[in-house]
C-alpha cells in the first residue's frame, strides 16, 4: 500500500514573476509584439523630449507681460495663462466678489468629504442635501441679492465656474430624468411608453447646438410677451433634457441586462413596482452601466462649451476672448493647451472615479 | 384520500388554495385547460409531468406571476383579481422558490433575507435581521450571512432562497423545480431542508421530478400533461398503480434512469 505525500508549494519560476517576467509577458512575448514595443518606444523618444522641453523646461511661467516670451523663444509662454487666469476661472464675475464662488466651492468639497468616509452614518441625508439643498445655497451665493450680497447677473457668470455649474446641473438633472424615461420606455402602460419613446427619440435626433440656439431664439417666441426667461436657465434646461435622452438609453440597456428572474423574485416577495425598481433592479442595472453613464457625463461636460453660441462665456469662450486681445496675439497654442489640460483633468478624474466605484461595487460572480 | 397516508403533521380540513375551472392562454396557445385543484392546510403536494405540460404556469398563477384568464383562484379566502390589494395580500402569504434561485446578487445573504420583511411587512430592521439569522440557522448556513450570493455554491444559494421566503413567514410555499439546476451532491442538502420544512406543517406545492422526495413527504402527487391535470393520487397508489396510460408512460421514462 502506498501512501500519498502532498507536494510542497513551490515558488513560481523567476522568469514568470517580477520585472523580467512582466517585461517578457507584456512587451516581448512574440516577434510581432517585440517590433511593436520597439516602434512605440521610438515614437515616444521622438515626441516626448521636445514636448517636455517646450512645455516645461524652456517655458516662461512668471511675469505680467509678454516681453520675456518674445525675447527668448522656443518655449511655452504660460505667462499668458497666469495673467488671464482669474478670468478663465471666474469669467466676468466682479473681482471683489470672487470669494463667493470660492466659498461655494469650498463648501461643496467640505460637504462631499463625508460621503467618501465609509463609517459616516448620515450619508443618505447628506447626499440629499448636496443634491437639493446645496444648489439653492450656491445659487444665492453666486447671484446675491440677499443678505446684503451684491446682485450679480447670470450673464456675468463665466469661465470654469460656468462650465462646472452647467455640467453639474446637467448631470444632476439628466440622471434621475434619464432613469424615469428608461423605466417609462419599458412600461406596460401604452401612453407612458409612447410619451417616453417620443421624448427620447426627439431629443436624441437633434444636435445640441440647435437645441441651445432654439432655446434662446425660438422659445421666447412661444412664451407670453414680457416673460424674461434667464438665458443661463434656458441653457441648463436644454442641456438637461438633451442629455437625459442619452442617459435614458444607457440606463435602459442596463435594465435589459437584468434577468427576468430578478423581477419575478421581487414580485413574488410582494415588493411594489417602485420598491422592486429602487431596491433590486436599478442598483444592479446602474452598476452594470457605470461606464456608459460616465461616458455620457464626460460628453455632457465637454458639450457645455457649446453655450458659447448663445452668448454665455464658459472657460473656452473666455480663452478665445483672451486670444483676440491685441496685446496677446499669437498664444493660441498655450491657451488651447491649457483648456485641453483642464478639461482632461476633470474628465480623467471622472473616469478614474467610475473605475474605483465599479471595483467597490463588485460582489462576486453573477450566476 | 380522506386520511393523510404519510407520517408527519396532520392535514386540516380547511381549504387554503382553490383553483376552479382555471384556463390560461399564451396568445393563441391554450396552456392551462380547466384546472380544478383544492389544497388543504398543511398538505404537501408534488406536481410532475413532461416538459411543457404547464406545471410552472399553474403554480405561478397561484401568486400571480402569471395571470389566468378564466376561472377562479382563491388563496386563503382571498380571490385573485386585478385588484392590486388582493394580489399583495396573497403574495405576503405565499413564498416561492425558483429553479435558478433568483437571489439578489448585489445584496448579502442576510440583506436578501431582510429585504421583504422590512419593506413589505414593515418590520423593524433589527427584528428582521434577527429573524433572518434564525431562518439561516434553520437551513444550516448562518455562517454565510455576510457573504454575497455569488460566493456560495448552488446548494447553499438555494437554501438561502428558501430561508429568504420563510422570512416573510408565509403559510404556503411554492417550489418550481428547486433542485433541477443543482449538482447531485447538492440536491440532497436542499431536499433535506425541504423535508424538514414539510415536517413543520407548511403547506407546500412542489414541482419536482425527485420521486424519492415525493414518496417520503407528499400527501398527494399530481400528474399534468398538455395543460391538464391527468391524475392525482396518494404517492403509494400513484407510483404502484397508475391509472392512465400517459402516467404510466411518464413514470416508466423517469424511473428508467
Ligand atoms: N411567456 C410565455 N409565452 C408563451 N408561451 C409560454 C410562455 N411561458 C411558457 N410558455 C409555454 O407554455 C407551456 C407550458 O410552460 P411551463 O413552463 O408551464 O411548462 P413546465 O411544465 O413547467 O415545463 P418544464 O418542465 O420544462 O419546466 C410550454 O409549452 C411553454 O412553451
Ligand atoms: Mg417549469
Higher local confidence (pLDDT), A181 or A151 = A181
Task: Sort out which chain A residues have CB atoms less than 8 A from B102's CB and list them.
Answer: 259, 261-262, 264-265
Q: Looking at the complex, does the CB of residue A363 fall below 8 Å from at least one CB of chain B? A: yes
A157 pairs with which residues across the strands?
A91
- CA-nearest of B169, B220, B164, B162 to B194 is B162
Handedness of CA B221, B227, B228, B230 (dihedral sign): negative
Grid coordinates belonging to B243: 391509472
CA A8/CA A30 separation, integer angstroms: 33
Share of chain A above pLDDT 90, in %: 34
Task: Sort out which chain A residues have CB atoms less than 8 A from B154's CB and list them.
Answer: 367
Q: Which of A265, A276, A279, A362 to mutate to test the interface with B (most CBs of B within 10 A)?
A: A265
Grid coordinates belonging to A61: 511661467
A248-284 pLDDT, tens digit each = 999 999 999 999 999 999 999 999 999 999 999 999 9
Grid coordinates belonging to A66: 509678454
- pLDDT of residue A71 exceeding 80, the answer is no
Q: Which of A57-71, A74-88, B104-118 has the lowest mean pLDDT?
A: A57-71
- Please answer yes or no on whether B115 and A265 come within 8 Å at the CB atom: no
- Please answer yes or no on whether A271 and B120 come within 8 Å at the CB atom: yes
> What is the reported pTM?
0.85
> Pseudo-torsion of CA B98, B100, B104, B109, nearest 10°?
80
**Per-position DSSP letters for B120-150, written without gaps between them:** TS---HHHHHHHHHHHHHHTT-GGGTTS-GG
Q: Are residues A307 and A235 in contact, defined by beta-carbon separation less than 8 angstroms?
A: yes
> Residue B226, by phi and psi: left (phi above 0), alpha (psi -120 to 50) or beta?
left
Grid coordinates belonging to B191: 431536499
How high does pLDDT run on average in chain A? Answer: 86
> Residue A75, by phi and psi: left (phi above 0), alpha (psi -120 to 50) or beta?
beta
Q: Are residues B118 and B171 in contact, defined by beta-carbon separation less than 8 angstroms?
A: no
Give mean pLDDT, residues A41-57: 87
Measured N-to-C along each axis, helices A231-257 and A159-185 cross at an angle, to the nearest 10 degrees, of 40
- pLDDT of residue B2 exceeding 80, the answer is no
CA of B64 to the centre of ligand 1 (A): 15
Q: Are residues A89 and A160 in contact, defined by beta-carbon separation less than 8 angstroms?
A: yes
- CA-nearest of B213, B186, B184 to B198 is B213
CA B16/CA A361 separation, integer angstroms: 43
CA B214/CA A193 separation, integer angstroms: 46
Q: Looking at the complex, does the CB of residue A260 fall below 8 Å from at least one CB of chain B? A: no
Mutate to test the pocket of ligand 1, among B52, B96, B230 (most ligand atoms within 8 A of CB): B52
Distance of CA A140 to the CA centre of its chain: 24
ipTM of model: 0.91
CA A80/CA A328 separation, integer angstroms: 7
Looking at residue A330, what is its pLDDT?
Answer: 80
- CA-nearest of A273, B151, A90 to B160 is B151
Looking at residue A149, what is its pLDDT?
Answer: 79
Amino acid at each position: 500500500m502506498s501512501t500519498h505525500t502532498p507536494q510542497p508549494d513551490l515558488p513560481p519560476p523567476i522568469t514568470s514573476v517580477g520585472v523580467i517576467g512582466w517585461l517578457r509577458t507584456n512587451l516581448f512575448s512574440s516577434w510581432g509584439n517585440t517590433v511593436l514595443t520597439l516602434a512605440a518606444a521610438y515614437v515616444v523618444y521622438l515626441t516626448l523630449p521636445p514636448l517636455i522641453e517646450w512645455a516645461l523646461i524652456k517655458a516662461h511661467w512668471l511675469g505680467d507681460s509678454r516681453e520675456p516670451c518674445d525675447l527668448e523663444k522656443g518655449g511655452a509662454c504660460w505667462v499668458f495663462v497666469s495673467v488671464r487666469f482669474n478670468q478663465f476661472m471666474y469669467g466676468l464675475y466682479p473681482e471683489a466678489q470672487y470669494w463667493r464662488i470660492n466659498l461655494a466651492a469650498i463648501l461643496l468639497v467640505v460637504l462631499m468629504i463625508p460621503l467618501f468616509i465609509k463609517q459616516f452614518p448620515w450619508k443618505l441625508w447628506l447626499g440629499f442635501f448636496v443634491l437639493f439643498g446645496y444648489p439653492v445655497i450656491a445659487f444665492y451665493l453666486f447671484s446675491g441679492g440677499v443678505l446684503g450680497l451684491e446682485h450679480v447677473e447670470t450673464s456675468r457668470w463665466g469661465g470654469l465656474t460656468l462650465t462646472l455649474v452647467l455640467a453639474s446641473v446637467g448631470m444632476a438633472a439628466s440622471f434621475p430624468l434619464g432613469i424615469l424615461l428608461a423605466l417609462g420606455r419599458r412600461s406596460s402602460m401604452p401612453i407612458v411608453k409612447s410619451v417616453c419613446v417620443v421624448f427620447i427619440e426627439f431629443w436624441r435626433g437633434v444636435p445640441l447646438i440647435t437645441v441651445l440656439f432654439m432655446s434662446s431664439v425660438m422659445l421666447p417666441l412661444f412664451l407670453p410677451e414680457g416673460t424674461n426667461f434667464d438665458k443661463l436657465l434656458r441653457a441648463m434646461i436644454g442641456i438637461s433634457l438633451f442629455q437625459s435622452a442619452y442617459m435614458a438609453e444607457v440606463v435602459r440597456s442596463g435594465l435589459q441586462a437584468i434577468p427576468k428572474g430578478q423581477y419575478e423574485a421581487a414580485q413574488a416577495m410582494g415588493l411594489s413596482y417602485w420598491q422592486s425598481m429602487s431596491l433590486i433592479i436599478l442598483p444592479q442595472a446602474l452598476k452594470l452601466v457605470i461606464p456608459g453613464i460616465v461616458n455620457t457625463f464626460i460628453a455632457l461636460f465637454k458639450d457645455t462649451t457649446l453655450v458659447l453660441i448663445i452668448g454665455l462665456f464658459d472657460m473656452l469662450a473666455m480663452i478665445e476672448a483672451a486670444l483676440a486681445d491685441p496685446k496677446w496675439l499669437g498664444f493660441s497654442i498655450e491657451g488651447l493647451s491649457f483648456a485641453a489640460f483642464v478639461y482632461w483633468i476633470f474628465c480623467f478624474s471622472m473616469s478614474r472615479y467610475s473605475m474605483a466605484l465599479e471595483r467597490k461595487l463588485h460582489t462576486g460572480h453573477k450566476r | 384520500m380522506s386520511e393523510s397516508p404519510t407520517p408527519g403533521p396532520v392535514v386540516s380540513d380547511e381549504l387554503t388554495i382553490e383553483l376552479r375551472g382555471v384556463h390560461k392562454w399564451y396568445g393563441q396557445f391554450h396552456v392551462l385547460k380547466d384546472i380544478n385543484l383544492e389544497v388543504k392546510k398543511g398538505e404537501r403536494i408534488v406536481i410532475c409531468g413532461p416538459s411543457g405540460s404547464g406545471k410552472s404556469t399553474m403554480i405561478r398563477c397561484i401568486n400571480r406571476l402569471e395571470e389566468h384568464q378564466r376561472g377562479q383562484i382563491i388563496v386563503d379566502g382571498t380571490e385573485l383579481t386585478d385588484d392590486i390589494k388582493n394580489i399583495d395580500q396573497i403574495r405576503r402569504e405565499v413564498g416561492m422558490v425558483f429553479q435558478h434561485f433568483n437571489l439578489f446578487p448585489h445584496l448579502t445573504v442576510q440583506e436578501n433575507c431582510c429585504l421583504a420583511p422590512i419593506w413589505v411587512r414593515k418590520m423593524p430592521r433589527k427584528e428582521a435581521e434577527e429573524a433572518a439569522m434564525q431562518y439561516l440557522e434553520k437551513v444550516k448556513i448562518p455562517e454565510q450571512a455576510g457573504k454575497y450570493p455569488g460566493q456560495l455554491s448552488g446548494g447553499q444559494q438555494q437554501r438561502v432562497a428558501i430561508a429568504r421566503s420563510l422570512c416573510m413567514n408565509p403559510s404556503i410555499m411554492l417550489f418550481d423545480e428547486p433542485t433541477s439546476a443543482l449538482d447531485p451532491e447538492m440536491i440532497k442538502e436542499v431536499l433535506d431542508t425541504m423535508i424538514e420544512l414539510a415536517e413543520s406543517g407548511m403547506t407546500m406545492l412542489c414541482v419536482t421530478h425527485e420521486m424519492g422526495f415525493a414518496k417520503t413527504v407528499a400527501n398527494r402527487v399530481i400528474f399534468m400533461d398538455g395543460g391538464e391535470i391527468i391524475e392525482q393520487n396518494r404517492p403509494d397508489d400513484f407510483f404502484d398503480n397508475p391509472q392512465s396510460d400517459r402516467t404510466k408512460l411518464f413514470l416508466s421514462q423517469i424511473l428508467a434512469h
